[in-house]
Homo-oligomer: A and B are copies of this chain.
């Protein structure tokens, strides 16, 4: 029952139907499986391992900056959720409510956390008394629930995994520095570890997190020209502190309100790497988060010595890389397809003649380049090729984004560029009025994504109303 047909036969081409191509990869690469729990999914071992590598890298970055992990309850009493007005308005319509424990009706409904600001605030009020208790730099790795109407694996599901950082500081200045610092951490992680270029910027007023003074985000452009918000960082000022009566005694012995932030990234990042790097053969994984960085495929494995040499190589390489030897009785062709589908960055092929010549064939997933490499310095070769994969897919994603970023001065120009070159980022000037923001979306289909940190004031007038422009804004269709 060895397998030798190609898996890729069943995959929709991304050019034919991008959404179907995406779903096909999620299933065929064994990242997820559907369940009878509507809008929720099983994250399978291969998908979960990607998340574990993301967690490991981010958690190390957080801890190096002094953050500590904690764990809050998964439930929030309704009265606690109601304490901060904007926050409850933003989240109450989409929470799941627990009303019964066993056979008994609860005295007060509990929602399953959609985010945990309220719980952190309650905790801060208990433990913060003096300036000596500040700052608190907390984070938790948990899942949250938001009762979405339409769902898609990783991109939008009723339950998703994330980390939520929550910090509280003596001054507004410190809190703003933290907000910006964590946005930079996310950008660095996306660019270096996920090989995904991002735009850093500030959300407009209409697009802020419920309860925030300001929300910052990183935005990435997917292969189909749509924008994906890949991470957010919020500055809360002292609004939550006032709502939850959190105060501390400062050095002058006065009671004052502290300032807060929160920031998060989710399993959505797995969706982001699928849609940034994938192709019609399947996933293309950035080496830093690839569960298997190098797969060894024996050629003519029934021949004497091939499996032994392959196993020896596996044991040797396992000291430096996440390596797998596939010695199943499936055909080599089947195996090539399988690990292409799974996005393994580097494949090694080793057969009798290779062994004779003390070499193997190395193939890089993203560009299918073949290299004949000596077994003597294989570790160096692989390390170099993994770096080459990361740089290559980053460059390709960057070029795609540049090709699909359109600088426009008028509404007509926006429509023309999108019609001509397909969806992408639109750079256009904006006066700052919400009315114009809405109108741009109505007339062109692209909404504001962010006001980038790097401004490029290429025109003095708003793309919509012609009045004085305040900001250059990235616009796009969003996931």
Contacts and interface: CB of A to CB of B under 8 A. Distances in A.
Interface of A: 1, 33, 35-37, 40-45, 48-49, 51-52, 68-77, 79-80, 92-103, 110, 112, 119, 122-123, 126-127, 130, 132, 138, 142-143, 145, 147, 158-159, 161
Please indicate which of the listed interface residues A40, A42, A158 has the most CB atoms of chain B within 10 Å of its own CB: A42
A269 to B, nearest CB: 15
Contact of A42 (B42, B51, B70): B70
A74 B36 contact: no
B159 A73 contact: yes
Given A1-B132, A74-B112, A101-B158, 14 more contacts: A35-B122, A36-B79, A37-B73, A40-B73, A42-B70, A43-B70, A43-B71, A45-B69, A48-B70, A49-B68, A49-B69, A93-B103, A98-B112, A112-B112
Please indicate which of the listed interface residues A44, A69, A101 has the most CB atoms of chain B within 10 Å of its own CB: A101
A63 to B, nearest CB: 10
Contacts of A92: 102
B93 A147 contact: no
A95 B101 CA distance: 6
Nearest to A143: B74
B69 A52 contact: yes
A327 to B, nearest CB: 14
Contacts of A99: 97-100
15 contacts: A35-B123, A37-B110, A42-B70, A43-B70, A48-B69, A51-B71, A52-B69, A71-B143, A71-B161, A73-B159, A75-B96, A94-B102, A95-B101, A98-B99, A99-B99
B74 A159 contact: yes
Contacts of A143: 71, 74, 142
A110 B158 CA distance: 13
Contacts of A70: 42-45, 48
B96 A100 contact: yes
Contacts of A1: 130, 132
A35 B79 CA distance: 13
Nearest to A136: B45
A159 B119 CA distance: 15
A138 B98 contact: no
A214 to B, nearest CB: 27
Contacts of A145: 74
A137 to B, nearest CB: 9
A99 B100 CA distance: 8
A77 B36 contact: yes
A234 B51 CA distance: 28
B112 A76 contact: no
Contacts of A159: 73-75
A130 B45 CA distance: 19
Question: Which are the 8 A-B pairs with shortest beta-carbon distances?
Answer: A40-B73, A45-B68, A101-B147, A97-B100, A43-B71, A37-B73, A99-B99, A96-B98
A249 to B, nearest CB: 10
Contacts of A42: 70-73, 119, 123
Nearest to A127: B33
Contacts of A130: 1
Given A35-B73, A100-B97, A147-B101, A45 B138 contact: yes
A28 B161 CA distance: 31
A69 to B, nearest CB: 5
A51 B52 CA distance: 17
A49 B71 CA distance: 10
A141 to B, nearest CB: 9
Given A93-B103, A97-B98, A100-B97, A35 B119 contact: yes
Contacts of A79: 36
